[in-house]
Amino acid sequence: AAGIPIVRRANMLAEITRLKYTVCIAGTHGKTTTTSMVAALLDGAGIDPTVINGGIIHAYGSNYKAGESDWMVVESDESDGTFAKLHPTCAIVTNIDPEHMDHYGTMEKLREAFDTFVENLPFYGFAVLCTDHPEVQALAARVTDRRRITYGFNRQADVRAVNLRTDLNGAHYDVALRRPGSAQPRMIAGLTLPMAGEHNVQNSLAAIAVALELGATDDQIRSSLAGFGGVKRRFTPVGEWTPEKGKPPVRIIDDYGHHPVEIAAVLKAARAMQGQEQLIAVCQPHRYTRLRDLFEEFSRCFDQADEVIIAPVYEAGEALIEGITHEALVTSMRRHGHRAANAIGSLEELPAAIRERIQPGGMVVCLGAGDITRYAADLAGKLAAGG
């Protein structure tokens, strides 16, 4: 009655991306972290972009920053297909896995959406594509009339991570840049990323590719990565507890990972940090439909954890699906060979379950997109209080 138009977020975002040169980051996993890394590297190069992200960037204390330059960095959510409405100058695709299939229905429809996302590039734009992922490599082959930059660990990538080693301070590596007409790559040596996991190194390669295109120097890239503050709920330490005086403490990590690919990547990173020390994964599955659609994958993605504790499904407004429960998942995990998978009746039982199992120097990784984050934040205090 007031004549005030109601505009959906995706439509408004599409209009905003017309106003500036825009880096749009899409993919099933890694969007938020990659968006944050691109923003950090452009900030470090003095470009001052506007940033619209899907998670809280620690450096800003927000998911948004209004910049002064003509550049914008936007996380591009593929969950309902609306990312195909955006107008990128640079289109990053991190990976493409079966997700949000309630919207897409088939993998072919999902592929078509990513094709459209890249096809929206203007003739002067460029795509940045992770060819470590087979679906993205196939997408790269379909990009025939736009400039493309590939990245990853594979030897054919234009921007490639080499000499990777990890420790408790994060990842240390060099980057080899393919040069047209030369058999020898140009090297950016001595990079440090204060985050665990090969997947985060991959994400940094996308950011490096964009930063180089926009004129960042090697030293600016090196400095910005070393100072990268991360994103909320991405392998975030939330507490420590010392079960035995004089022994190493137990570290508690909170992570948003809720898809089997994400969970496997997080636990691989945690295992690299822990070595032979104990690693316990605690997972609150998110949505019955996701657990149903990826049940086999969930049954296999926890193998890096010594012990797994599965909490009841976070419904997110969905109705129970018969046979799709956290207990059924535990049964399937055991059938698939996991020796120490157990269910708990509620997350209220978590402190007791951890106290019963934990060893000095162990790590507890809490995984999920629901309210498990609240229990992760409280866990160290409850363990210390004997709860």
Q: Taking a C-beta distance cutoff of 8 angstroms, is the pair 92, 206 a contact?
A: yes
The model's confidence at residue 382, banded by pLDDT at 50, 70 and 90, is very high
Higher local confidence (pLDDT), 166 or 366? 366
Instruction: Give me the architecture of the 236-384 domain, per CATH.
Output: Alpha-Beta Complex (3.90)
The model's confidence at residue 371, banded by pLDDT at 50, 70 and 90, is very high
Asked if residue 77 has pLDDT above 90, the reply is no
Structural domain boundaries of the chain?
Answer: 9-226, 236-384
pLDDT digits (tens, 9 = 90+) for 253-274: 999 999 999 999 999 989 988 9
Q: Is 144 a catalytic residue?
A: no
For residue 148, the model assigns a pLDDT of 96
Q: Is the dihedral of CA 265, 271, 274, 277 positive or negative?
A: positive
Asked if residue 387 has pLDDT above 70, the reply is no
Q: Which of 22, 28, 32, 131 is catalytic?
A: 32
Q: Which of 17, 20, 31, 373 is catalytic?
A: 31
For residue 218, the model assigns a pLDDT of 98
CATH 3.40.1190.10 for domain 9-226, yes or no, is yes
Q: Provide the residue type at 233 as one letter.
A: R
Asked if residue 180 has pLDDT above 90, the reply is no
- Mean pLDDT, the chain, as a whole number? 92
Cα distance between residue 121 and residue 88, in whole Å:
6
Q: Give the Cα-Cα-Cα angle 165, 168, 171 (nearest 5 degrees).
A: 35
The model's confidence at residue 101, banded by pLDDT at 50, 70 and 90, is low
Selection from 78, 89, 152 nearest residue 115 by Cα: 78
The model's confidence at residue 333, banded by pLDDT at 50, 70 and 90, is very high
Q: Is 247 a catalytic residue?
A: no
Q: Is 75 a catalytic residue?
A: yes
For residue 100, the model assigns a pLDDT of 66
For residue 1, the model assigns a pLDDT of 53
User: Residues near 382 by Cβ (< 8 Å), separated by ≥ 6?
Assistant: 351
pLDDT digits (tens, 9 = 90+) for 158-171: 999 999 998 878 89
Q: How many CA atoms within 13 Å lie on the side-chain side of 13?
A: 24
DSSP characters over 91-135:
EEE----S--HHHH-SHHHHHHHHHHHHHTS-TT-EEEEETTSHH
CA 172 to chain centre: 19
Q: Which of 65, 75, 135, 236 is catalytic?
A: 75
